[in-house]
Amino acid sequence: MTTTALSAAPAVHLDAVVKRFGTVTAVDGMDLRIRPGEVVALLGPNGAGKTTTIDMLLGLAEPTTGQVRVYGHAPHEAVAKGLVSAVMQTGGLLKDYTVEETVRLIAVLFRKPRSAVGEALERAGIADIAGRLVGKCSGGQQQRLRFAMALLPDPKLLILDEPTTGMDVGGRHDFWTAIRQDARDGRTVVFATHYLEEADAYADRVVFVRRGRVVADGTASEVKALAAGRTVRATLPGAQPADLSRIEGVESAEVRGDSVYLHGRDTDAIARHLLTRTPARDLEITSRNLEEAFLTLTADEK
């Protein structure tokens, strides 16, 4: 497939994908299209089907029904062509090798020149520890090593499973700066993470998965808006939750010291009530954050 054809095809296309393991349905009719150059966060609670979906994108599992395509290819073909790389959370490292020896070993498999090793180490931010034994590296440094290895084939699609586990705040920032640069250069990135603030800050799209189905798909702002309602925070000493819950429009109320938090759809009406009928002060009205949207949209139905 030519470069033009690659850019025209969806980077990822899941069409009515079902994956069963015996009587357990891990993925249940998933439809998903990801455009080249997008950074997409795949989020969901444990058991939602994220890992199974990633396995199918990497050609490690076949769908029971439906079709999975990566840049127009079956996943195992895309992997064989070097179109796909992955940074997994654990495994795959030889602790008695140095960082540079590990990357050089993988480079040989891709027939990459020595310069590619140095470039990968620089891109991953670990050139300064190239001579260190892998077993002496911190968890965050080992994760950066996996990132360097994944960059060697110059993949069109990079799949990340909890990529910043073990990294400190500075390391996480540097990592995502590199990922965003890759996306600007046309690389597609799909990542799963428990750090929802990373999805909020760095993903072009957020896809929430529950019980093997997509339950929300859009920008972080769009997904947060799906979890209807906003929160009014105010300073109101002596407030009682029972009294607050009786205010028209309030769906839930919480008291934390002198502060009250009132959630509802018509927060303007709640704010008017507080300002005209109570001595409340210091009012703030905020939208739900991504964590609240996640809990709302992925919660199991009662």
What pTM does this model have? 0.79
C-alpha neighbours within 13 Å on the C-beta side of residue 157: 30
Domain CATH code at residue 76? 3.40.50.300
Q: Report how far residue 24's alpha carbon sits from residue 46's, in angstroms, rounded to the nearest whole number.
A: 15
Token pair for 161: 């499973």
Q: Cβ–Cβ contacts within 10 Å for residue 236, how many?
A: 21
Q: Report how far residue 156's alpha carbon sits from residue 177's, in angstroms, rounded to the nearest whole number.
A: 18
What mean pLDDT is reported for the chain? 91
Tell me which of 239 and 89 has the higher pLDDT: 239
DSSP-assigned letter for residue 133: B
Q: Are residues 216 and 248 in the same domain?
A: no
Q: Are residues 284 and 201 in the same domain?
A: no
Spatial CA neighbour of 41 closest among 301, 230, 224: 224
Tens-digit pLDDT profile for residues 136-189? 999 899 999 999 999 999 999 999 998 888 888 888 888 999 899 889 999 999
Q: Give yes or no for residue 27 having a pLDDT over 60.
A: yes
Q: Are residues 118 and 255 in the same domain?
A: no
Least confident piece of the model among 229-233, 274-278, 279-283: 229-233
Domain CATH code at residue 291? 3.30.70.980
Least confident piece of the model among 19-28, 61-70, 99-108, 289-298: 289-298
Which structural domain range is residue 285 located in?
228-298
Q: Are residues 101 and 241 in the same domain?
A: no
Backbone phi, psi, residue 286, to 5°: -130, 150
Q: Among residues of the chain, what percentage have pLDDT more than 90?
A: 70
Q: Give yes or no for residue 302 having a pLDDT over 50.
A: no
Q: Which of 224, 257, 290 is the last residue of a domain?
A: 224
Q: Give yes or no for residue 286 having a pLDDT over 90.
A: no
